Structure 1
């Protein structure tokens, strides 16, 4: 009896696996009204063995930790089989249930409205279409591991498609994805983008430029290749067959989003000819390309396999994003786009900025990672007082950890060794890492305990001991505000049509204690009109700590006089200087961190 039941179960499982393997999915993407910002999606599914199937749209885009509710942009959902309309109903905010009527194949059609300019959301107009795949393609529940084919039908006059998806041989603008994780991780640019290529680390890199710009293609080919080579050198291998950069050039732009073998970058079209603008673009390239290893392969265990219906919580975004911010500096240094002084100055500034953030005393970087879904991407006027960026604090923690490892090993090891070891370990295990596993690897490489480090800087809010850590590398730090009593008000303002409004009030500042509020309109300060009072903080200039300033403000249309007693500024103003008389150990630490 037991043997018969087991045999029956095996037969059922085998039959289910066979049926699943026979399911075929194909998408056809068209654009009949791009000027109205729509794309038409046709999804063909065959090989079904169910009475109904749930079709789902992801609610977020991996790499951007916010539920964006992509289903809100879907309209006209419908399904047919053998030319007949199938019954369907919406059973969840992002789920449509289609009753198959025993049909073996069905066709689903829907439209998506796309008109949000960012690296993580789709945008379509008469000039091009950018498809951020997790907001365009739906998937059948339970079939995330099923392959799919995507056919792009460009709008008239459009001639190019750029994507990291694998092309289907002999079929123009047709691509294949081994599963939906890969499909959702492969953005698509359609239009007449300027495309050029370069070779680096043994693979072809395609750059698709939309929006024009004053970039020099030949210069970019050389300089982007240098960044690729430096990233590959850290890990010893480049896991891709090819890589695609999709670059959107606008009058003002920025940001990037990493993908498995591609990235989307936002840039300012006229900034390539300035030193600051060009360097800023290369820093963005360095950041997103480094993600090829950190996050896309070596990632927190919670970030894969993905749950596309809900938030995916992890306490380790400080590694995923913060360390990537730190390594963009390393790649820029090692590729020759900055020098030792520039590298040190950037990181000293990073330490100052984090130390001067009131929220750094309230929220740990592990908490900032976990709460990214509800705090980082949804800031308010008080966020600076209650939160810290896992990018900014993670960058600083990466620096401190790097210096600690190099010091403990007398310059023979660095954070590079930890990152490579974790990448290879995750590759062998075919899964992500836990916080405990990452800490264990740091301790294995360094030969030192990091329990106190984790308690202070990862799970705690201890003030950064910058003298100690920079001292490991023979870098002397001076706080130029130390010993000074600098009067400090503690507000930020915005000018709106000639009227000045308070936008932030810093925790425990004079303004905080004495009651100036966000949204107060500043009318005058000590009787001086607002344009004089606010310009370069003239109301504070010449005052001393302990003296007062009387503000007249309008709060909800009611005039109020608020007297503020000035307090001393708590902010650091750090300056770093490389010690030319550094010890041999300090020089070894510096070399390991900078140039290993």
Structure 2
């Protein structure tokens, strides 16, 4: 029954709660007393609280990297004062500290964070710089995730620069503001003496912060990175940012990237910019991560925001979020002029071969791979390749096939670009992410055909991609050959030990090693009576990692012949006999047919974006 008095009471209560939250102010100061020891000093100030206690909590994972990382494990010397006096602190959960503030209005929290893991998703601090991955640095008061905050960075005495996508506070050096914690947690911060340069593209100011030196050409990067930005923006019709930051960590050997709403962190090899492979590899990484500012950050699965920072956030759609982004990386590299049409189609054929050559692709679907990212994707074991498939790889293949199906069905009028743009606008309008059913419905709306069978085969099923059929739509012929014709394989790889044995690290499903009973961690002492050291004496190894086919006496065998291995398993001697098999891996070569039909040429032109 409608009760006017009850409704009024509820409104007043909600108003009071909102007013109380509005009065609470949250600010941070981050300084570096001992950067050489890899520590950040964090001071958190909460004013206007006035309750018996406050729970402050640290995220246990970072969006874009689907693994519980337990960032709280690196927190030390947590303490608090209320109204200027020390107060009791109790840890009530692995990532939650309860501060008994006794209704004091002003609370100060101090703690240190140890940061010594080099990656794009974890903080790292040394005497040369500090990379602050916010989910591993900052905490928020329970229930205040939508509250604004300010962050003041106090650089170490030898540092002079801060680079971040956070909005600066006018008139205050190195001080930034975030409208809520989703924004703060999504805004990495680079502190040090990084080389900073800028360029304009798609009406957006882009800042590039280079740490670690390198043989890069700033002027060339400004031009080429801008081309990628323009091509990505062209797909969606608008660029949602006014300012975008690339934080680039240049190491001896680097790689990887992590997307954010208006920034990204990239890993690169500092001395590879002057090689074609190294330079294009970096631009491809730029293309991948930049596309994420739409796909994942705004055009996103419904489970990926608002985030639950305490637990896993499950979705079956990472094959779209990451796999399609891998596919668009290739599209943007071609459309921006860095790869010609032949390289474009052959790179995509190579992506299909990767899936065909992964045994786990026959056992795990793209949807399942997405859902299981939390337990397999970021912590694979020696058997993961046999029972799982990366949603990056499978999603890229689905993107290729889906794009060609749409273009062919619409006779070149529409493509996957139209689906992505429509889904971006839908998410923007509805202010939420999409479901799998909604994404499929949009694909069918744009293409005008049913995708029931497609979804059953490739999204929820484990059917091998019909690449000849789909490439044929565009007049592209694909030939298939054995990766190592007439060469036997064991299916075992390992690492050369200091004792002169090979410690087995992986066994391929259904291979000779699999059938013969060789195990991971077995130590191979000899092959057909010849010790491993003697067998390797005639060749020069480039790495301690090797497959058994590296041994000449294995390579010279024929398919169907046997190998007699002497191994040590848990310190005990054992003999294992392997019957060599043909290599099941294939190699694909794509060729654009110059005598294609007019319909095929129309599909190809739309696919290439010409």
Q: CA deviation at 1:589?
A: 1.1
Partners of 1:490 and 1:358 lie apart in 2 by 11
- 1:539 partner SS: helix
Q: How does 1:424-439 map to 2 (within 5 A)?
A: 424-439=425-440
Pairing 1:553–2:567 present: yes
Question: How far apart are residue 5 of structure 1 and its match?
Answer: 2.9
Aligned to 1:258: 259
- 1:354: how far off? 0.6
In structure 2, stretches of 5+ residues that fail to align are 537-547
Contact 1:260 1:292 in 2 (8 A): yes
- 8 Å contact 1:539–1:549 — kept in the other structure? no
1:539, 1:553 → 2: CA distance?
A: 17
Contact 1:403 1:473 in 2 (8 A): yes
CA offsets 1:208-233 (integer angstroms, 9 cap, x no match) = 01111111111111111111111001
Distance in 2 of aligned mates of 1:540 and 1:440: 53
Show the 5 A alignment for 1:570-581. Answer: 570-581=584-595
Once the 2 structures are TM-superposed, how far is the Cα of residue 486 of structure 1 from its aligned partner? Answer: 4.6
Other-structure match for 2:136: 135
Name the SS for the 2:56 alignment partner.
strand
Residue in 2 that maps onto 1:96: 97
Whether 1:525 and 2:527 are equivalent positions in the alignment is yes
Matched with 1:35 is 36
Give unmatched runs, 5+ long, in structure 1.
Answer: none
- With over 3 angstroms needed to count, the CA separation of the structure-2 counterparts of 1:7 and 1:482, relative to structure 1, is closer
Give the Cα–Cα distance (whole angstroms) in 1 for the partners of residues 462 and 564 of structure 2.
35
**Offset of residue 537 of structure 1:** 4.2
Deviation at 1:49, TM superposition (A): 4.2
Q: Which of 538, 541, 544 lines up with 2:555 in the alignment?
A: 541
The runs of at least 4 consecutive aligned structure 1 residues that moved more than 4 Å come to 482-486
Match of 2:452 in 1: 451
Alignment of 1:4-15 (within 5 A): 4-15=5-16
Q: Which moved more, 1:493-502 or 1:185-194?
A: 493-502
- SS at 2:378's partner residue? coil
- Higher mean displacement: 495-504 or 162-171: 495-504
Q: State the shift of 1:538 in Å.
A: 2.5
> 1:147-296, aligned counterparts within 5 Å?
147-296=148-297
Q: Distance in 2 between matches of 1:209 and 1:544?
A: 52
Describe the SS at the equivalent of 1:63.
coil
Matches within 5 A, 1:398-409: 398-409=399-410
* 2:504 is the counterpart of 1:505: no
RMSD: 1.5
| Offset from partner CA, 1:349-392 (integer Å, 9 cap, x none) | 11111101010011101100000001011111111101100011
Measure the CA separation in 1 of the matches of 2:88 and 2:426. 48
Give the TM-score taking structure 1 as reference length. 0.98
State whether residues 553 and 559 of structure 1, in contact with CA within 8 Å, keep that contact through their aligned partners in structure 2: yes
Distance 2:404 2:243 in 1: 34
Alignment of 1:122 with 2:123, yes or no, is yes
Q: CA deviation at 1:459?
A: 0.4
Counterpart in the other structure of 2:327: 326
Per-residue deviation, residues 494-518 of structure 1 (Å, max 9, x unmatched): 2233432221111111110111111
The answer for the alignment partner of 1:567 in structure 2 is 581
1:100 aligns to what SS in structure 2? Answer: coil
Q: Distance in 2 between matches of 1:34 and 1:202?
A: 38
For 2:55, the equivalent position in structure 1 comes to: 54
**What is the match of residue 108 of structure 2?**
107
Q: CA deviation at 1:485?
A: 5.6
Task: Kindly provide the CA deviation profile for residues 5-39 of structure 1, in whole angstroms up to 9, marking residues without a partner as x.
Answer: 33222211111111111211111111111111111
Would the alpha carbon gap of residues 228 and 482 (structure 1) be closer, same or farther in structure 2, given more than 3 Å must change?
Answer: closer
Instruction: Verify the 8 A CA contact 2:160 2:192 in the aligned structure 1.
Output: yes
1:449-528 to 2 correspondences below 5 Å: 449-481=450-482, 486-497=487-498, 498-528=500-530
- Structure 1 SS opposite 2:113: strand
**Residue 395 (1) aligns with residue 396 (2):** yes
1:593 to partner: Cα distance: 1.4
In structure 2, what is the equivalent of residue 420 of structure 1? 421
Deviation at 1:563, TM superposition (A): 1.0
Shift of 1:545: 2.7
Does the CA contact (< 8 Å) of 2:487 and 2:555 recur in 1?
no
Aligned partners of 1:19 and 1:49 also within 8 Å: no
- Corresponding residue for 1:589? 603
Q: Cα offset for 1:3?
A: 3.2
Q: Secondary structure at the match of 1:573?
A: strand
Task: Write the deviation string for residues 103-162 of structure 1: whole angstroms up to 9, x where unpaired.
Answer: 112111111111110000000111111000010010011111100011111110210000
What is the alpha-carbon distance in structure 2 between the residues aligned to residue 87 and residue 554 of structure 1?
56
Tell me by how many angstroms 1:483 deviates. 12
| Alpha-carbon separation, structure 1, partners of 2:31 and 2:47 | 21
Relative distance call for 1:501 and 1:268 in structure 2 (3 A) is same
1:583 & 1:522 partners in 2: Cα distance? 56
Kindly state the Cα deviation for residue 2 of structure 1 after the two structures are TM-superposed. 3.8
> Aligned pair 1:85/2:86, yes or no?
yes
SS in structure 1 of the partner of residue 171 of structure 2: coil
CA deviation vs aligned residue, 1:391-437 (integer Å, no higher than 9, x gap): 11111111011111111111111111100000011000000000000
Aligned counterparts of 1:284 and 1:433: Cα–Cα separation in 2: 26
Stretch of structure 1 that moved more, 554-563 or 409-418? 554-563
CA distance in 2: counterparts of 1:482 and 1:67, whole angstroms = 38
Q: 1:2, 1:417 → 2: CA distance?
A: 49
Within 2, Cα distance between the matches of 1:153 and 1:485? 64
SS of alignment partner, residue 461 of structure 2: coil
The alpha carbon displacement at 1:524 in A equals 1.9
CA distance in 1, matches of 2:365, 2:294: 25
In structure 2, C-alpha distance between the alignment counterparts of 1:114 and 1:502, rounded to whole Å: 33
Measure, in 1, the Cα distance between the counterparts of 2:68 and 2:314. Answer: 12
SS at match of 1:298: coil
Give the C-alpha shift of residue 202 in structure 1. 0.7
Please say which of residues 561-570 and 261-270 is displaced more in the overlay. 561-570
Deviations 1:159-214 (A, max 9, x none): 00000000011111000001000000000000111111111111110000111111
**How far, CA to CA, are the matches of 1:399 and 1:103 in structure 2?**
59
Is the partner of 1:570 in helix, strand or coil?
coil
User: In 2, Cα distance between the equivalents of 1:483 and 1:177?
Assistant: 55
Q: CA 1:470–1:243 in 2, change beyond 3 Å: closer, same or farther?
A: same
